[in-house]
Chains A and B, each alone.
Chain A
């Protein structure tokens, strides 16, 4: 039974998504509970999968018994299991948040909306598990198509942002597919384990290098790496408040994870000199993105845009860790990726809450609205500590490990970039915090309206995740190192 868990984790949301139009045809109101139950089941299954992987070791799942490299293989190592647990857990929290937020009701559009949400989550778990480059392409496209549609839900300005996102994203997947084609032409293999056997010796080939560059360009668009980030701030500030946490927390992270898989699981970093160039390139882009993204965030007056640029700068931080070609850097980057997913999710939960409850979507509006909600303030303090990188949050330990990885590789510029990004992040969070504190002092009238329980539960769970990841950072990193150990870096 436990060996089928990866497939079950993926099939639960997919089957629910497909049956959603039938179930919600007469009564669209049932869609939200059904989606919530499905993702809860998925969370339980993925926790079981994580437990079984941590006890019995990684699972290589071959669909319908066809063994790789001919059949389709799913790789459920501890990295994949951890990420899928994070995806499904954050999915539950985002749906709970949507429940408590009480946005304009969707009415008849609830059916396609929740179908898209479930497809998004299913595609994310598929992309994490997929063991060959072409399946990753298919699942990335499932994720992206649902994301385009979800961004466009409010209509108006969001339509234009969604269209831009679609143009950029579709070009990104086309480039990724092109890179996969180059790899196939050079090696005749698509399976990740098979490719890693065939690639050494072919690393001087222009087709392999070209394929790698094309895949990087494609994934860089999808992960909103600095010069290619244009679609992200608009898409995130115009998308519905209940959806952004899901998109911000998970969609860009998946491309980062895929890129790490390609760099380390497909290309062996210690193999030949040719690959070191690509690692240096990744580090350089990471440094640029982390510092420039943080500087741009400092200039924003609108909360959602500020947080979006903060996310862009954190993508750079993860890439710095990925580019160090050592275990400390990689494990640190993957651990930070996990933290960043939680933190981005919490940031946009807060932004959505402040905008809908207090009408505060810019810094000035925030200073005028007197926010006295203890839940929001505690969440903000926790996520602020995490983003800046102060203990005991996971953000601190993630940044520390990336920094140690950079020092281990004697890359002092990268280490300096991590520290500089931390300082600038402190700058823009101090701005928001100052407005939040000042907003409380102007008027003593307490906030009378009760916060609905789903909102309280979401915020409490997010704070617990941010702090918990920090307190148990050794255990989480040990899990991630488990996955990277066979690479021998």
Chain B
């Protein structure tokens, strides 16, 4: 048990990621307001992106640009750039999702005059 806690504490990024993920899921499931549900969804997506970025991080490493003059650059000196590239794409996807979802929410509001799930379902009958 103690070993597990110790292993977890050595990776604070994973603790932050799990907290964010669960928090986002909690908001999405419990809130009845459509915009708040989207906020929860956004936090879930951001937590995944956060996780992706932290997998590339290393202690004491720098930007992955090889400067002239350095001989034999080692992999330990540079941050892994690939997760950051993936993250960029994932952020674009996240923004597209957010755009579509806000479009849907605004049409729901114009049609039903409410953003509350219970009220909208009541009007649908």
Contact = CB atoms under 8 A, between A and B. Distances in A.
Contacts of B101: 148, 163, 166-167, 170
B111 interface: yes
A137 to B, nearest CB: 8
Contacts of B93: 137-138, 141, 173
B118 to A, nearest CB: 12
A177 B108 CA distance: 29
Contacts of A145: 96-97, 100
A181 B51 contact: yes
A163 B101 CA distance: 7
Interface string B36-66: 0100010011001001100100000000000
Interface in B64-115: 82-83, 86, 89-90, 93, 96-97, 100-101, 104-105, 107-108, 111
A162 B89 CA distance: 24
B124 interface: yes
Given A152-B104, A174-B45, A167 B28 contact: yes
B111 A148 contact: no
A175 B34 CA distance: 21
Contacts of B82: 184
Nearest to B42: A170
Contacts of B97: 141, 145, 166, 170, 173
A156 interface: yes
A149 B99 CA distance: 11
B100 A148 contact: yes
B45 A148 contact: no
Given A141-B96, A152-B104, A160 B120 contact: yes
A163 B108 contact: yes
Interface residues of A, number: 26
B27 to A, nearest CB: 11
B103 to A, nearest CB: 8
Contacts of A227: none
Contact of A177 (B25, B55, B90): B90
A310 B101 CA distance: 29
Interface in A158-194: 159-160, 162-163, 166-167, 170-171, 173-174, 177-178, 181, 184-185
Contacts of A157: 124
Contact of A174 (B48, B55, B104, B111): B48
A185 B86 CA distance: 13
A404 B32 CA distance: 48
A51 interface: no
B49 to A, nearest CB: 8
B48 A159 contact: no
A171 B104 contact: no
Nearest to B117: A160
B121 interface: yes
A355 B55 CA distance: 52
B111 A159 contact: yes
Contacts of B111: 155-156, 159
A262 B108 CA distance: 37
Name, among A137, A159, A162, the residue most crowded by chain B CB atoms within 10 Å (CB to CB). Answer: A159
A134 interface: yes
B89 A181 contact: no
Nearest to A176: B48
Contacts of A181: 48, 51-52, 55, 83, 86
B34 A163 contact: yes
A145 B41 CA distance: 15
A70 B26 CA distance: 38
Interface of A: 134, 137-138, 141, 145, 148-149, 152, 155-157, 159-160, 162-163, 166-167, 170-171, 173-174, 177-178, 181, 184-185
Closest 5 CB pairs of A and B: A185-B55, A141-B93, A181-B52, A178-B48, A159-B108
22 contacts: A134-B86, A134-B89, A137-B93, A138-B93, A159-B104, A160-B108, A160-B120, A160-B124, A162-B104, A163-B34, A166-B97, A167-B101, A170-B41, A171-B28, A173-B93, A173-B97, A174-B45, A174-B48, A178-B21, A181-B55, A184-B82, A185-B55
